[in-house]
A and B are shown apart, each in its own frame.
Chain A
Amino acid sequence: GESVGLHLPTLSVQEGDNSIINCAYSNSASDYFIWYKQESGKGPQFIIDIRSNMDKRQGQRVTVLLNKTVKHLSLQIAATQPGDSAVYFCAENMDSSYKLIFGSGTRLLVRP
């Protein structure tokens, strides 16, 4: 599942540092958000989700922050590891819809 593109924004971090990946979503009516990770040759893999009645949710080494005022979503990865290297997509959903609307993705590179 290549999400490689010449124009993907790239975040390069040192192994062990924290990473912050940002996403601006498009629809103010969206009320459910997911972060997906896509490694080369694979499909999108669920990381964490958040509903609009929350502004923060934590998982294992990951935290998602939601700012509905500015339609902004971020994914924080603590103690980034080489295995975190991938393309990360945010996706949004509205209550009236079945579809996920994906953002354009950010490539995360972890330097050893």
Chain B
Amino acid sequence: EPEVTQTPSHQVTQMGQEVILRCVPISNHLYFYWYRQILGQKVEFLVSFYNNEISEKSEIFDDQFSVERPDGSNFTLKIRSTKLEDSAMYFCASSSVGGRTEAFFGQGTRLTVV
């Protein structure tokens, strides 16, 4: 069964450092997403990406965040200067249709900022 894969599974970084979280979406999907989940809280939308550009973003997704699809398979989330409050589980997701159908989620990357 096709799946979304994320690497690394756990990333520890020092405050102020840049991190890149990586995702390989399902191969025939066209819409890509990043969500995050702070421990004990809801899953929150960060950004959606379609046709090589951001289609929607939340207020969380400020200038410190960026996304990129550097090649035909990877989808990355970069946080330029991490803060303690960026510590969370980050989920990548993909779907064949934007927003109106099942989004498949990866296993997540746990980001710990110290």
Contacts and interface: CB of A to CB of B under 8 A. Distances in A.
Contacts, number: 80
Interface in A39-93: 41-46, 49, 89, 91, 93
A89 B43 CA distance: 9
Report the interface size class on chain A.
20 to 34
B102 A49 contact: yes
A19 interface: no
- Which 5 A-B residue pairs are closest in the complex by CB-CB distance? A5-B40, A43-B105, A98-B48, A99-B45, A98-B99
Interface of A: 1-8, 32, 34, 36, 41-46, 49, 89, 91, 93, 95, 97-105
Given A2-B37, A5-B41, A44-B91, 17 more contacts: A1-B89, A1-B91, A1-B107, A2-B89, A3-B43, A4-B40, A6-B40, A34-B102, A34-B103, A42-B108, A46-B102, A89-B42, A93-B99, A98-B48, A99-B33, A100-B99, A104-B41
Most buried by A among B42, B44, B48, B101: B42
Interface residues of B, number: 31
Chain A interface main SS type? loop
A5 B45 contact: no
A105 B43 CA distance: 9
Given A1-B108, A43-B106, A101 B40 contact: no
A36 B35 CA distance: 14
Nearest to B40: A5
B6 to A, nearest CB: 8
A93 B103 CA distance: 11
Contacts of A8: 40
B104 interface: yes
A105 B56 contact: no
A45 B99 contact: no
B108 A7 contact: no
